């Protein structure tokens, strides 16, 4: 095959060859026929470009090499070859000069390589489409190629988002049906849906584009309410959990904490471990479960020392990593039932003495503490355990800081002068009130 001049091009055959190349890559034989067709009608530059394309796929093709040799000697100048649509691995090697792959994870490297390959391929297609358009116009055929050229120019220039349109989100009912069909993947389905909706809300393809995170979050919250209404009760928590993950992963929400209790960045917490409490703290659920377990299952925020809300407690014990805490939480609730009314009266009497004692030597308080500990020693072991382990929800009346102790610990701290008697009396008064309410 060599450059020649010939007759009218067979456009039907050329179109069939392009379709074959597009539908069945690499279509080497179709590419050879395309070179022959271009050469036969004198379109040498188009034939040369097609030959270069063929050599990128088959570097040892004898016919393509022979054609290019003839073409170069005929023109005396070598046209700039169209860059090859390189594979990701080839693009990685080309990028070594400008990027340090040791600082990039494999996913980022693949993305970068794929992006470069897309631009290179768009440049090649741009040339081919223009040739096809010119051929069609020369033969009086209405060309539909012009509408594709702006998109190819944008892709070649790296403006991918201007070409790839963001699809509008599907209906919430359709998402709910997908979640019901595969409950094990329900959370991932909901997260994907809210992520897609976020991209749509921010897309220029959306008539009312939203850029403010608060406005986007409000729109997502409405979507979640619709999802919840369409889902069965057992799957409803998955929709709200999905919003929590999208706020973290897509909206980049800021939290009170920017590190876990072990010092790892919040951004590094895997989705399976990530959880946010209503007071704005982000947690690694594995770390939180260990902290709560070491505190006898008391549902208190380890950092703020405030008790978790009922909704938070429900979320913690329902989380796969927090299910073991449910038994401890129930055990704490049952302990208050194991304290007899007489013991509560003794506790209330001790609190009144500690709060009323203004003497310098505090002898009345010391005597009352010793008497109460002696009384505790006479109780059944189960009741002693309740007084020793049960943590009562109470706050310091002056500082409003939560107490984080059991009745036994508080009394013994007062006996050992580790806590003042008035502060202990404040705690014991609230403990007595709490225990009476549980009866």
**What is the DSSP code string of 88-114?**
HHHHHHHGGGT--GGGS-HHHHHHHHH
CA dist 439 and 337 (Å) reads 7
Q: Please, what is the angle between helix 407-415 and helix 341-356, to 10°?
A: 40
pLDDT for res 330: 54
Distances (CA, A) of 109 to 157, 420, 433: 20, 62, 63
- What is the mean predicted confidence (pLDDT) over 364-380? 86
pTM over 0.75: no
**Phi and psi of 275, rounded to 5°?**
-155, 145
Three-state DSSP state, 291: helix
Cis peptide, bond prior to residue 26, ω within 30 of zero: yes
410-428 pLDDT tens trace:
898 888 888 889 999 999 9
Alpha carbon 57 to chain centroid, angstroms? 39
pLDDT digits (tens, 9 = 90+) for 398-412: 888 888 788 888 898
- Least confident piece of the model among 72-76, 90-94, 197-201: 90-94
The pLDDT of residue 207:
60
pLDDT in tens, 102-126: 555 677 777 777 778 778 888 888 7
Within a 10 A sphere around the Cβ of 107, how many other Cβ atoms? 8
Measured over the CA atoms of residue 402, residue 405, residue 410 and residue 412, the dihedral's sign is: negative
pLDDT, tens digit, for every residue of 17-47? 777 787 777 788 888 888 887 788 778 888 8
Q: Which residues make Cβ contacts (< 8 Å) with residue 34, sequence separation at least 6?
A: 14, 17, 18, 21, 50
Q: Phi then psi for 99, rounded to 5 degrees?
A: -120, 150
Confidence of residue 186 (pLDDT cuts 50, 70, 90): very high
Place of tokens 């594709």: 148
Residues constituting the chain: 439
Q: How many CA atoms lie within 13 A of 41 on its CB side?
A: 18
Which residues, in sequence order, are bridge partners of residue 265?
259
Asked whether 38 and 50 are in contact (CB, 8 A), the reply is: yes
φ, ψ of residue 292 to 5 degrees: the values are: -70, -35
Mean pLDDT of the chain: 80
Q: Count CB neighbours of 57 within 10 A.
A: 15
């Amino acid at each position: 095959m060599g450059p020649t001049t010939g007759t009218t091009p067979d456009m039907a055959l050329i179109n069939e060859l392009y379709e074959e190349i597009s539908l069945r890559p690499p279509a080497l034989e179709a590419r050879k026929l395309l070179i022959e067709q271009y050469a036969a009608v004198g379109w040498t530059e188009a034939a040369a470009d097609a030959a270069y394309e063929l050599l990128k796929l088959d570097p040892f093709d004898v016919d393509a090499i022979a054609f290019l040799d003839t073409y170069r000697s005929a023109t005396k100048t070598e046209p700039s070859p169209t860059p090859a649509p390189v594979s990701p691995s080839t693009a990685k090697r080309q990028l070594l000069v400008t990027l340090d792959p040791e600082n990039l994870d494999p996913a980022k490297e693949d993305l970068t390589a794929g992006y470069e390959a897309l631009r290179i391929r768009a440049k090649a297609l741009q040339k081919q489409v223009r040739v096809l358009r010119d051929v069609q116009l020369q033969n009086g055929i209405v060309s539909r190629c012009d509408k594709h050229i702006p998109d190819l120019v944008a892709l070649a220039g790296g403006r991918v988002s201007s070409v790839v349109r963001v699809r509008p989100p599907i209906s919430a009912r359709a998402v709910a049906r997908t979640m019901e069909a595969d409950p094990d993947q329900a959370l991932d389905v909901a997260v994907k849906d809210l992520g897609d909706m976020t991209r749509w809300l921010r897309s220029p393809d959306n008539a009312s584009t939203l850029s403010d995170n608060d406005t986007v979050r409000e729109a997502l919250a409405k979507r979640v309410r619709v999802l919840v209404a369409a889902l069965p009760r057992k799957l409803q928590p998955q929709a709200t959990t999905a919003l929590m993950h999208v706020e973290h992963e897509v909206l980049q929400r800021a939290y009170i904490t920017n590190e876990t209790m072990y010092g790892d960045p919040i951004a590094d917490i895997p989705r399976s471990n990530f959880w946010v409490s209503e007071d704005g703290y982000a947690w690694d659920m594995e770390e939180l479960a260990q902290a709560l377990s070491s505190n006898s299952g008391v549902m208190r925020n380890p950092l703020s020392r405030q008790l978790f809300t009922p909704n938070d407690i429900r979320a913690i014990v329902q989380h796969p990593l927090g299910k073991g805490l449910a038994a401890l939480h129930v055990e704490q609730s049952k302990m208050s039932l194991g304290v007899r009314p007489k013991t509560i009266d003794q506790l209330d009497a001790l609190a009144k003495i500690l709060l009323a004692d203004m003497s310098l030597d505090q002898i009345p308080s010391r005597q009352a503490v010793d008497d109460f500990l002696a009384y505790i020693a006479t109780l059944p072991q189960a009741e002693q355990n309740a007084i020793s382990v049960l943590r009562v929800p109470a706050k310091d009346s002056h500082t409003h800081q939560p107490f984080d102790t059991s009745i036994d610990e508080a009394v013994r701290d007062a006996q050992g002068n580790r806590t003042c008697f008035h502060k202990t009396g404040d705690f014991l008064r609230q403990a007595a009130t709490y225990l009476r309410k549980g009866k």
